[in-house]
Amino acid sequence: MILHDLFLAIWISFKTSGLAALVASLLAVPAALHLAGNEFRGKKAVLVVNQTWMAAPTVVIGLLFYFALGRSGPLGGLGLLYTQAAMTIGQIFLILPLIVGFSYTALRQVDRRARLTALALGATRHQASRVVLREARFPLVVAVLAGFGRAVSEVGIAMMLGGNIRGATRNITTSIALETAKGEFTNGVILGAVLLVITLGINALVISGLRSRE
Amino acid sequence: MNGIGGPAYLLEGIRYAYPGAADGFVFELDSLRIEPGSALALVGPNGAGKTTLLMLLALLARPAAGRVAFFGRDAWEPGTNEHPIIRRDAVLVTHHPYLFKGTVGDNLAFGLRVRGVPEPEWADRMREALALVELPGWEKRQAAGLSAGQAQRIALARALALRPKALLLDEPTANIEAGLGLRIEAVIGESVREAGTTIVFSTHNFSQASRLAGKILYLEEGKIASPGRFW
Amino acid sequence: MLATTTSVDATGLLDVLADAFKKESGISLKWVAVGTGAALKLAQDGNADVVIAHARKLEEEFLAAGYGVNRRVIARNFFMLVGPLGDPAGAAGAPDVKTALERIKAAGAVFVSRGDKSGTHMRELDLWALAGGPPITNYLETGQGMAQTLLVASERRGYTLTDSASYFSLAATAGLRSIFEGSADLENIYSVIAVNPARVASARYGEAMALIAFLTSPRGQDLIGSFKGKAGRVLFEPMAGKPGIDRLK
């Protein structure tokens, strides 16, 4: 396997999954903040839905968006299928509940007095929310990393929505699938090792980050 | 310094329902007037409503009925409370204060930052405030792991640095031992005389109440124990 | 074990042939469908006993290296250049493949390639050589089979080279139409080769030869020639036994 292809695949993995983690976090953290700070009817239902959503298989998500984004689907006019954008969109959908769940837990653990203290010292509601986020910054970073880890190691969505096009939508995981199907086991192993290093590294950060909460 | 301009606080017809209390406990206040630059002590058993009243005065709790006027402005008139933020002039120090993660300096700077006080002024203000609570030079210390008394003093310094018009203190010397406690009282008293700050504080200590306060309010079960209007 | 091209498998032809072969000889045929390049490699590694391929150059190398014996041509169809209904590169009216490809390259249009050393891929590269090489931009390599490649072409509104059997029998072709077909350099010859037992010890030579015999027999050829599959039209033209057909230039 050409070294150039290897680096391209790694770059594409980081780019698509990184963007997915970023966008998903921008949506998930405010949602988690709202959930953590408020009680309302149906809150339990929301949490249950989030939990269930987390269990969605990647191929099912891939299938769903395949039909939605394909030319004959409702969003077909955008021509997104088999592009990096499609991969990112699918992965956002995958990791959103994960980040919401982790962030919610992190924010619940922030002392309730933090917000009140901020307000008592003259913060606006927004400033007070920022204080709460800052007090939980380590576990929140951990949550985002966990989301990224999940996205970068999945293959169902990347394959179905990306099409495994060399240099465009062929990332680490789809490369592994391809090389293995071609019988090029050496290449598959090399890619697998790279992915393992990345995900184990992230996992180590996540676990040590969670531990240091105590 | 009484009667210059209007009252610092004027509360009328207040009814406040505790959130989550089913039928429950309600705080009622017919009327309360607090003059600027005066010191008011709240005394009564636990659960009588001292903290609630302080929260109402800090403009952090909204009454279900009634009017809270702070230096002549209706605090809960639509649009008033956030812009401009009138509750910045009333700072509450809670009974078990919460210190933000980071250093003592970070904590003291918080209020200054959200008000947009220019950074060059921060150092002086922080030094002044820490000197008053007898913790000079503590700016760089980590806020975690302090004793209850130290935390309470830091929280007080945090409020003093902001030079608010009204200072609301929930049991300000509860965790501070006697001698130091008296000196802190003196600091609070100073702030009334020198700066004209309006002070409302709760306490279990009757002698403290008489020493510091010009007036004492007795609270019991969510109401003022002495009936009728209280001026 | 047969290693075959994806087009022969995806159309369903192999299912029909395998059934009939089993009935006649009692031998069960197992197969994997990969590109010609991968198929020949599998055979070399001893993972296949017989190969069906459609890339003359690769087949010649295979035979020359002594891995294969007894190559017999069995069928033929044609490659086609297909593309989006709107034909943005204006390639449809071209007089020959070379011009059509040049127009596609000049327009910077999307072109989807198999990119997998399959027979189709090899022919595609040969044709691009006529036009000065494949495009630099918008040249998408899927590395996968014809079905996936056609899907990508359809979704990304691009051009691609396909064999006629795949084009007419795969559902992936909505949104595509024929842009250029019919010239001699688009002829697509399928042949079957037995793995040489002298080079690859594990090769089941006897069964391989039985398959070759079946495929080139009148019955086998008849099945190939009448196979319609999903398309409702004949996809392969039987070629075995035509004089000189097995001769390699």
What pLDDT is stored for residue B62 in this prediction? Answer: 87
Closest CB to C148 among A71, A163, A168: A163
Residue C130 lies in a domain: yes
What pLDDT is stored for residue C241 in this prediction? Answer: 75
Question: Are residue C83 and residue C178 in the same domain, yes or no?
Answer: yes
Whether A75 and A86 have beta carbons less than 8 Å apart is answered as: no
Whether C41 and C200 have beta carbons less than 8 Å apart is answered as: no
Closest listed residue to residue B31, CA positions, set B76, B68, B77: B68
Question: Could you tell me the pLDDT band of residue B230, with boundaries at 50, 70 and 90?
Answer: very low
Whether C46 and C200 have beta carbons less than 8 Å apart is answered as: yes
Whole-number average pLDDT of chain B: 86
Whether A169 and C144 have beta carbons less than 8 Å apart is answered as: no
The CATH architecture of the domain made up of B9-77+85-224 is 3-Layer(aba) Sandwich (3.40)
CB < 8 Å from B in window 175-194 of A? none
First to last CA, chain C: 29
A139-153, A177-191, B1-15, C228-242: which is most confident: A139-153
Question: Are residue C106 and residue C60 in the same domain, yes or no?
Answer: no
CB < 8 Å from A in window 153-172 of B? 158-159, 162
C186, C204, C220: which is the final residue of a domain?
C186
Question: Are residue C95 and residue C55 in the same domain, yes or no?
Answer: no
* pTM reported for the whole predicted model: 0.79
Q: What are the φ and ψ backbone dihedral angles of B185, each rounded to 5 degrees?
A: -55, -45
The answer to whether residue A214 scores a pLDDT higher than 50 is no
What pLDDT is stored for residue C61 in this prediction? Answer: 92
Whether B212 and B39 have beta carbons less than 8 Å apart is answered as: yes
The more confident residue out of C123 and B46 is: C123
Whether C138 and C42 have beta carbons less than 8 Å apart is answered as: no
Q: What are the distances in angstroms from CA A147 to CA A26, A49, A208, B63, C112?
A: 12, 18, 16, 42, 33
Question: Are residue C8 and residue C69 in the same domain, yes or no?
Answer: yes
- Disruptive mutation site among A39, A40, A117, A127 for chain B (greatest number of B CBs within 10 Å): A117
Continuous segment of H or E residues that includes residue C10: helix C6-10
The alpha carbon of residue A124 is apart from the nearest alpha carbon of chain B, in Å, by: 7
B100 in reach of chain A (CB within 8 A): yes
Question: Are residue C142 and residue C115 in the same domain, yes or no?
Answer: yes
Q: Residue C235: exposed, middle, or buried by beta-carbon count in 10 A (0-12, 13-18, 19+)?
A: buried
Render pLDDT for A16-34 as a digit per residue (tens, 0 to 9). 999 999 999 999 999 999 9
Residues of A in contact with B114 (CB under 8 A): 118, 121-124, 127
Whether B40 and B218 have beta carbons less than 8 Å apart is answered as: no
Determine the Cα–Cα distance for residues C184 and C186; give it in Å rounded to an integer.
5
Q: Which chains form contacts with chain A, at 3 or more CB pairs under 8 Å?
A: B, C
Q: Residue B221: exposed, middle, or buried by beta-carbon count in 10 A (0-12, 13-18, 19+)?
A: middle
Residues of C in contact with A168 (CB under 8 A): 140
Closest listed residue to residue C132, CA positions, set C92, C93, C104, C161: C104
Question: Are residue C46 and residue C111 in the same domain, yes or no?
Answer: no
For chain A, which domains are there?
3-211 (1.10.3720.10)
Whether B143 and B154 have beta carbons less than 8 Å apart is answered as: yes
The answer to whether residue B130 scores a pLDDT higher than 50 is yes
A111 in reach of chain B (CB within 8 A): yes
Residues of C in contact with A165 (CB under 8 A): 140-143, 152
Residue C249 lies in a domain: no
Q: Which residues contact residue B203 at a Cβ distance below 8 angstroms, ignoring those fewer than 6 apart?
A: B41, B42, B43, B171, B172, B173, B209
What pLDDT is stored for residue B21 in this prediction? Answer: 63
What pLDDT is stored for residue B229 in this prediction? Answer: 38
Whether A140 and A104 have beta carbons less than 8 Å apart is answered as: no
Please report, for chain B, the start and end positions of each structural domain, with discontinuous segments joined by +.
9-77+85-224
Question: Are residue C90 and residue C154 in the same domain, yes or no?
Answer: yes
Sheet of strand B90-93: strand arrangement: B90-93, B166-170, B198-203, B39-43, B215-220, B223-224
Q: Where are the alpha helices (DSSP H) in chain A?
A: 3-37, 43-54, 58-69, 84-108, 112-120, 125-135, 137-152, 156-162, 172-181, 185-211
What total of structural domains would you count in chain C?
Answer: 2
> Which residues form the domain of C106?
79-186
Look at the alpha carbons of C12, C17, C20, C22 in this order and tell me if their dihedral is positive or negative. Answer: negative
Residues B220, B222, B228: CA angle, nearest 5 degrees: 75
3-class DSSP state of A183: coil
Mean pLDDT in residue range B48-74: 89
Determine the Cα–Cα distance for residues A58 and A60; give it in Å rounded to an integer.
5
Find the residue in A nearest to C138 (Cα). A168
Residue C248 lies in a domain: no
Question: Could you tell me the pLDDT band of residue B20, with boundaries at 50, 70 and 90?
Answer: low
Mean pLDDT in residue range B154-163: 93
C88 in reach of chain A (CB within 8 A): no
What pLDDT is stored for residue C169 in this prediction? Answer: 81
Residue C97 lies in a domain: yes
Residue C246 lies in a domain: no
Closest listed residue to residue C14, CA positions, set C189, C203, C232, C224: C224
Sequence letter at residue C228: K
Tell if the CB–CB gap between A120 and B114 is shorter than 8 Å: no
What pLDDT is stored for residue C170 in this prediction? Answer: 78
Determine the Cα–Cα distance for residues A161 and A151; give it in Å rounded to an integer.
13
- Disruptive mutation site among C152, C157, C173, C176 for chain A (greatest number of A CBs within 10 Å): C152
Residue C245 lies in a domain: no
User: Do chains A and C meet with 3 or more Cβ pairs nearer than 8 Å?
Assistant: yes
Count CB neighbours of C58 within 10 A.
20
Q: What is the pLDDT along chain C (249 residues), one digit of tens a residue?
A: 888 888 788 788 888 999 999 999 988 888 888 888 888 888 888 888 999 998 888 999 999 999 999 999 999 889 999 999 999 999 998 999 999 999 999 999 999 999 988 889 999 999 999 999 999 999 999 988 888 899 999 999 999 999 988 888 877 677 899 999 888 889 999 999 999 999 888 888 999 999 999 999 999 999 998 888 777 788 888 888 777 777 765
Q: What are the φ and ψ backbone dihedral angles of B4, each rounded to 5 degrees?
A: -80, 120
Question: Are residue C135 and residue C205 in the same domain, yes or no?
Answer: no
| C93: CATH | 3.40.190.10
Given the structure tokens 């017919």, which residue do they identify? B30
Render pLDDT for C163-181 as a digit per residue (tens, 0 to 9). 988 888 877 677 899 999 8
Whether B64 and B16 have beta carbons less than 8 Å apart is answered as: yes
The alpha carbon of residue C227 is apart from the nearest alpha carbon of chain A, in Å, by: 29
Render pLDDT for A41-99 as a digit per residue (tens, 0 to 9). 899 999 999 999 999 999 999 999 999 998 888 998 888 999 999 999 999 999 999 99
Render pLDDT for B178-212 as a digit per residue (tens, 0 to 9). 888 888 888 888 877 788 899 999 998 888 888 88
The answer to whether residue B82 scores a pLDDT higher than 90 is no
Closest CB to A113 among B85, B94, B115: B94
User: Do chains B and C meet with 3 or more Cβ pairs nearer than 8 Å?
Assistant: no
The answer to whether residue B27 scores a pLDDT higher than 90 is no
Q: Give the bridge partners for B73, in sequence order.
A: B70
Determine the Cα–Cα distance for residues C234 and C78; give it in Å rounded to an integer.
12
Residues of A in contact with B57 (CB under 8 A): none
